[in-house]
């Protein structure tokens, strides 16, 4: 046995290493199985050659008795070998396969039988006085040995024992019967034997390489199958995990939308009550302090709700932005209308510069970015104003939110967009922000392919700029001013209801907009066919939606209805589309509203 790391020193060592390269027992098994599977081929070839040699001898002047005897002996030997081969195959098919050693001995026995048939031919056709025929017979035997070696080289025992059976007795017979020519004849037989074994050995090397290759292919295939199964399991687990995450994200988003809506409603109502009390002329002076404290608590509650929602959404995966051309003018108007009451409570002026510019962005993400920036500016500005505007910068448009607040020190500019950063001074302990507003601004801006920039200095205010790809501004449309019809508006948020009512009147429409819960509930009992158009919010009351009103009104009104929502899911949109009702995302711009009004009802 060779030591580890030893190098092969010759051909036998090389053959040994080839046969032992992977697993010696399996290499041997492959060679024996191949010999057993292909064993009929050498036997059939040998039978055909023996018949050819016998018939040639008969026609060449050899004795008929000798030729027929050769054929009988050789065909008998070949037939016996075939019977042994068939028995081996039969046992294998019946599941009673012999051991590896027994099968190899059976193959050796077959080859020995055939080689004996060839060896007896030399004795039958040999004539001591005919030197030419003696040499021809010896050469024929050498050729037979060489050709049979190539066919029986799958196992070394078969190769070696077959050559010994063929050439050993022949050498003894020639040396005994032909003393004059025996050196030449024996030399010829020895050369034939050497060539036979050498050629068989070369074929055996090739067969060993093929056996090793088969094993490697089996191992590779098994590894590939195992890796494929592993990848399939991993892919299945990944799909299941993604489906679970998607389901959880959808559930979380629905919950957040519901909780935002349900909490914002009573807080908005409370804010309106506090505002009414504050504007009341008969308000006792000693109640101003508690009233202001209540307003601050209300603002803190709204801020905490928004921040908690931000935290929850940051933990989930954000959807990919839906990039489209967004006109900035209507969006500025929407933000200012929404936050103007908050600014007025602090004595601030919230304004925007009218613009016709447009950017490529996701409308929901951009609205949230501007709302966060504007609310942040209002919160950290004690006096002065907050301004929204837009400025061209090459291929981008800079959306600017500037304030006259305290400003941010330069050493904090790098961390201002980090999560939980708070620019809070000692006299700001009443501010209860989590500090995620600007982090969300950065994340959403980057998701839309933009950049958030800060310019600020202490006591000189702050300027936040959102740079997004510019799109071509839409052409301004001329809207009719005369009365064109009657619109029923159902919107539960007072500020937005007033804003939509104003836009509808500016577009020349008469507006009916219920302002109480009872008024909204009556819509399900009324005949609405007298209205030219219906503009409905999806969620009106905890137990009343736009779908309830539509079901009560009947199909005739569907084609004249526009349903709006900020958070309507895909299922609601699909249902509205299926029944022929138009849907629009909040905030709806004046252009979008005018387009719907100018479209003929279905």
Mean pLDDT over residues 415-427, rounded?
A: 59
Give start and end residues of each alpha helix (H) in 424-514: 437-447, 494-506
Residue 1 is predicted with a pLDDT of: 39
pLDDT in tens, 352-370: 998 888 899 988 889 889 9
CATH 3.30.565.10 residue ranges in the chain?
321-471
* Domain 321-471 of CATH type 3.30.565.10: yes
Domain spanning 485-598: which superfamily? Response regulator (3.40.50.2300)
Q: Is the bond leading into 236 cis (omega within 30 degrees of zero)?
A: no
Please give the angle made by the CA atoms of 74, 76 and 80, to the nearest 5 degrees.
120
Whether 491 and 586 have beta carbons less than 8 Å apart is answered as no
At residue 68, the pLDDT reads 75
- Report how far residue 221's alpha carbon sits from residue 38's, in angstroms, rounded to the nearest whole number: 25
pLDDT for 24-49, tens place per residue?
Answer: 666 666 777 766 676 667 777 777 77
98 confidence band (pLDDT: 50, 70, 90): low
Q: Return the structure tokens found at 235.
A: 């892919």
Residue by residue, what is the 3-state secondary structure of 29-43?
HHHHHHHHHCCHHHH
Q: Are 162 and 148 in contact (CB under 8 A)?
A: yes
- Is the confidence at residue 11, as pLDDT, over 50? no
> How far is C-alpha 294 from the chain's CA centre?
53
Q: How would you write 390-434 as a 3-class SS string?
A: EEEECCEEEEEEEECCCCCCHHHHHHCCCCCCCCCCHHHCCCCCC
* C-beta separation of 458 from 406 below 8 A: yes
pLDDT, residue 386, reads 94
Residue 469: which H helix or E strand, with range? strand 462-471
Q: How far is CA 244 from CA 250, 251, 258, in A?
A: 10, 10, 21
- SS3 state of residue 460: coil
More confident residue, 314 or 167: 167
pLDDT greater than 70 at residue 153: no
Task: State the DSSP H helix or E strand holding residue 327, giving kind and residue range, or none if neither.
Answer: strand 324-327
Task: Enumerate the CATH 3.40.50.2300 domain ranges in the chain, comma separated.
Answer: 485-598
Give the separation between CA 532 and CA 510, rounded to whole angstroms: 10
The whole-chain average pLDDT of the chain stands at: 75
In this structure, how many other beta carbons lie within 10 angstroms of the beta carbon of residue 414?
9
- Whether the per-residue pLDDT at 476 is higher than 50: the answer is no
Q: Is residue 566 within 8 Å of 586, Cβ to Cβ? A: yes
Of 53-62, 98-107, 136-145, 342-351, minimum mean pLDDT range? 53-62
Task: Name the pLDDT band for 282 (thresholds 50, 70, 90).
Answer: low
Please give the pLDDT value at position 197.
Answer: 77
Q: List Cα–Cα distances, 112 to 39, 101, 106, 139, 322, in angstroms.
A: 14, 16, 10, 20, 83
User: If you search the block for the tokens 């290759």, which residue do you land on?
Assistant: 213
Mean pLDDT of 546-554: 88
Point out which residues pair with 562 in neighbouring strands: 535, 582
Nearest one of 449, 308, 431 to 380, comparing CA atoms: 431
Average of per-residue pLDDT across 76-92: 73
Residue 208 pLDDT level (bands cut at 50, 70, 90): confident
Give whole-number Cα distances, 346 to 279, 375, 483, in Å.
14, 12, 38
Q: How far apart are CA 35 and CA 28, in angstroms?
A: 11
pTM: 0.39
What the block records as the tokens of 548 is 């309830």
């Amino acid at each position: 046995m060779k030591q580890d790391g030893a190098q092969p020193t010759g051909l036998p060592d090389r053959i040994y290493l080839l046969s032992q390269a992977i697993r010696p027992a399996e290499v041997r098994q492959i060679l024996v199985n191949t010999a057993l599977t292909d064993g009929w081929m050498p036997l059939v070839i040998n039978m055909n050659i023996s018949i050819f040699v016998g018939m040639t001898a008969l026609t060449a002047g050899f004795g008929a008795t000798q030729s027929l005897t050769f054929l009988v002996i050789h065909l008998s030997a070949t037939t016996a070998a075939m019977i042994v081969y068939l028995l081996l195959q039969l046992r294998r098919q019946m599941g009673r396969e012999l051991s590896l050693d027994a099968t190899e001995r059976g193959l050796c026995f077959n080859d020995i039988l055939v080689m004996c048939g060839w060896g007896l031919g030399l004795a039958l056709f040999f004539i001591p006085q005919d030197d030419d025929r003696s040499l021809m017979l010896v050469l024929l035997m050498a050729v037979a040995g060489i050709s049979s070696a190539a066919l029986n080289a799958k196992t070394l025992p078969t190769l070696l024992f077959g050559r010994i059976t063929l050439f050993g007795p022949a050498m003894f017979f020639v040396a005994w019967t032909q003393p004059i020519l025996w050196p030449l004849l024996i030399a010829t037989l020895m050369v034939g034997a050497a060539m036979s074994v050498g050629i068989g050995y070369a074929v055996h090397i090739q067969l060993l390489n093929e056996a090793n290759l088969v094993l490697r292919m089996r191992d590779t295939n098994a590894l590939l199958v195992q890796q494929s199964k592993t990848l399939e399991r991993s892919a299945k687990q990944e799909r299941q995990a993604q489906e679970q995450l998607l389901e959880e994200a959808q559930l979380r988003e629905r919950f957040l939308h519901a909780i935002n809506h349900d909490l914002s409603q009573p807080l908005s109502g409370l804010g309106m009550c506090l505002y009414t009390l504050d504007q009341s002329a008969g308000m006792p002076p000693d109640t101003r302090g508690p009233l202001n404290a209540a307003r601050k608590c209300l603002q803190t509650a709204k801020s905490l709700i928004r921040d908690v929602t931000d935290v929850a959404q940051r933990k989930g995966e954000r959807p990919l932005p839906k990039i489209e051309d967004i006109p900035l003018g209507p969006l500025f108007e929407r933000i200012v209308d929404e936050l103007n009451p908050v600014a007025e409570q602090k004595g601030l002026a919230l304004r925007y510069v009218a613009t016709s510019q447009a950017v490529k962005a996701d409308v929901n993400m951009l609205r949230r970015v501007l709302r966060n920036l504007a609310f942040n500016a209002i919160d950290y500005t004690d006096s002065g104003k907050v301004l929204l505007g837009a400025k061209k910068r090459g291929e981008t448009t800079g959306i600017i939110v500037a304030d006259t607040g305290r400003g941010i020190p330069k050493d904090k500019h790098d961390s201002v967009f980090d999560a939980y950063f708070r620019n809070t001074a000692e006299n700001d302990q009443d501010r209860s922000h989590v500090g995620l507003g600007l982090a969300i601004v950065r994340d959403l801006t980057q998701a839309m392919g933009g950049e958030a920039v800060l310019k600020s200095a202490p006591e000189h205010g702050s300027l936040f700029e959102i740079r997004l790809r510019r799109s071509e501004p839409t052409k301004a449309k001329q809207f009719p001013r005369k009365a064109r019809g009657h619109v029923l508006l159902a919107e539960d948020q007072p500020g937005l209801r007033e804003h939509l009512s104003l836009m509808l009147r500016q577009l020349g429409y008469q507006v009916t907009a219920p302002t109480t819960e009872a008024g909204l509930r009556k819509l399900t009992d009324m005949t609405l066919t007298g209205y030219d158009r219906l503009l409905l919010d999806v969620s009106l009351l905890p137990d009343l939606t736009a779908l309830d009103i539509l079901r009560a009104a009947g199909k005739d009104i569907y084609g004249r209805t526009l349903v709006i929502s900020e958070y309507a899911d895909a299922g609601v949109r699909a249902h509205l589309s299926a029944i022929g009702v138009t849907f629009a995302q909040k905030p709806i711009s004046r252009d979008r509203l005018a387009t719907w009004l100018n479209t003929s009802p279905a």
